[in-house]
């Protein structure tokens, strides 16, 4: 087990260093590096326990348990940074984490007031079992609170997807895909861990299952660093800070109060501009980009599309892409393009997205569109 823990620590140090020290590095990467260092400390402490050195450094056990409380709040803060959301309702969760931290501090102080014989017996039970009752309670509360954090994180990510439905940037799509799998992984592993704590020997969970959990998370992050590389650059994060998803409240108030006036035929002008410039061919086109080109606020463009054209920016762009694709599909022998080539030509980021949208707007698949 010492070898397993050492391997996990080695992997954690590598990925933390890469995340923290890479060039062009945004804040979320640094937060993610600290997220990994926290379980790294726990596994280093496990090595002390498994090797018997914990008897010489007994307080390291409680110190590591205390720092572990920061894990879920940092994961949640990392998610909020990526979706550009401020901390509001989460204050209650942070308060609960503070109370749990007070609990572990109390146990640490109580441990320090015991004589050496009782302290050694306590550490022996941590190593060999039965696991101390108060630590079982702490561990259960710890993982239950993590589930709450990750559940809130899942809700926020889902809301982010709904707000981002008018953003057809591949960066936003990539970020959502990454965050979706990120929170599913963390939530599922935490849920399974909580079940194991209530059903099998705690020592087995601490020293065998948890290292394997961290290895799974490590592999996922390593995979994401290559497959979802857009989320690991400061450029994409700066775009996030200037995102058009969250419409400024002050601007909305101006519209409601009638302080800003726009042409009544603005919906038609939007359609004409889209058709003439064929901006839908840009795979990175967003509501913000269109608003900038038309020199009209993004919130007003969104309003005109929703109310005037009875659709969303997302549907408007994809429907135009499909219409363009239909023209190209009818001329495949002449334009020498494959179906996948047509998908990219009209602005889709993937073959899957193209097939899904084409089916939605035509009721057919691109491959048999020309068949009678």
In this predicted structure, the answer to whether residue 71 has a pLDDT above a threshold of 70 is yes
Q: DSSP for 53-97?
A: GGGTSTHHHHHHHHHHTTHHHHHHHHHHHHHT---STTHHHHHHH
Q: What digits encode the pLDDT tens for the residues 252-296? A: 444 444 445 566 688 888 998 998 899 999 888 888 788 888 888
Residue 171 pLDDT? 56
Crossing angle between the packed helical segments 71-83 and 133-163, to the nearest 10 degrees: 0
Q: What digits encode the pLDDT tens for the residues 225-238? A: 656 555 555 545 55
| Distance separating alpha carbons of residues 51 and 71, to the nearest angstrom | 25
Q: What digits encode the pLDDT tens for the residues 321-340? A: 999 999 888 877 666 678 88
What number of other Cβ atoms are within 10 A of residue 166's Cβ?
23
Q: What digits encode the pLDDT tens for the residues 79-121? A: 888 777 777 667 788 899 999 999 999 999 998 898 888 888 8
254: part of which helix (H) or strand (E)?
helix 249-256
What number of other Cβ atoms are within 10 A of residue 262's Cβ?
14
Average pLDDT, the chain: 78
CB 24 within 8 A of CB 235: yes
| Distance separating alpha carbons of residues 161 and 12, to the nearest angstrom | 30
Q: What digits encode the pLDDT tens for the residues 167-219? A: 555 555 667 777 888 888 888 888 887 788 777 776 677 667 776 777 777 67
| Distance separating alpha carbons of residues 80 and 255, to the nearest angstrom | 28
User: What predicted TM-score, i.e. pTM, was given to this entire model?
Assistant: 0.62
Contacts of 73 (CB under 8 A, 6+ apart): 93, 94, 97, 149
Considering only CA atoms, which of 35, 29, 36, 71 is closest in space to residue 228?
29
Partnered with residue 167 across adjacent β-strands are: 286
CA 16 to chain centre: 17
Q: In the chain, what percentage of residues exceed pLDDT 70? A: 78
| Distance separating alpha carbons of residues 311 and 195, to the nearest angstrom | 45
| Distance separating alpha carbons of residues 69 and 35, to the nearest angstrom | 11
Secondary structure, 3-state, 304-322: HHHHHCCCCHHHHHHHHHH
């Amino acid at each position: 087990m010492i070898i397993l823990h050492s391997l996990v620590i080695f992997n954690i140090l590598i990925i933390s260093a890469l995340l923290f020290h890479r060039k062009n590095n945004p804040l979320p990467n640094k937060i993610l590096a600290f997220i990994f260092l926290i379980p790294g400390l726990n596994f280093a402490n496990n090595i002390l326990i498994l090797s018997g050195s914990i008897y010489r450094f007994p307080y390291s056990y409680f110190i590591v348990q205390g720092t572990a409380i920061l894990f879920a709040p940092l994961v949640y803060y990392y998610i909020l940074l990526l979706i550009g959301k401020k901390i509001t309702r989460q204050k209650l969760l942070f308060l609960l984490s503070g109370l749990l931290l007070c609990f572990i501090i109390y146990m640490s102080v109580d441990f320090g007031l015991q004589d050496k014989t009782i302290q050694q017996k306590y550490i022996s039970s941590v190593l060999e079992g039965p696991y101390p009752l108060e630590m079982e309670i702490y561990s259960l509360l710890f993982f239950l609170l993590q589930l709450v954090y990750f559940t809130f994180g899942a809700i926020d990510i889902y809301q982010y997807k709904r707000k981002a439905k008018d953003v057809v940037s591949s960066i936003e799509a990539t970020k959502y895909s990454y965050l979706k799998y990120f929170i599913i992984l963390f939530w599922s592993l935490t849920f399974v861990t909580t079940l194991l704590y209530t059903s099998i020997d705690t020592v087995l969970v601490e020293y065998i299952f948890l290292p394997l959990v961290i290895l799974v998370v490590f592999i996922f992050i390593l995979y994401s660093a290559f497959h979802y590389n857009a989320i690991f650059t400061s450029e994409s994060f700066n775009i996030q800070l200037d995102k058009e998803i969250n419409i400024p409240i002050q601007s909305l108030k101006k519209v409601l109060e009638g302080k800003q006036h726009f042409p009544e035929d603005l919906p038609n002008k939007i359609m004409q501009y889209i058709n003439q410039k064929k901006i839908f061919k840009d795979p990175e086109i967003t509501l913000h980009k269109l608003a900038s080109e038309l020199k009209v606020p993004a919130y007003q463009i969104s309003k005109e599309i929703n109310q005037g054209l009875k659709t969303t920016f997302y549907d408007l762009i994809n429907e135009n892409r499909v219409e363009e694709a239909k023209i190209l599909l009818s001329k495949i022998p002449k334009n020498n393009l494959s179906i996948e080539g047509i998908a990219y030509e009209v602005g889709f980021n993937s073959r899957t997205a193209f097939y899904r949208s084409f089916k939605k707007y035509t009721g057919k698949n691109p491959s048999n569109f020309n068949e009678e």
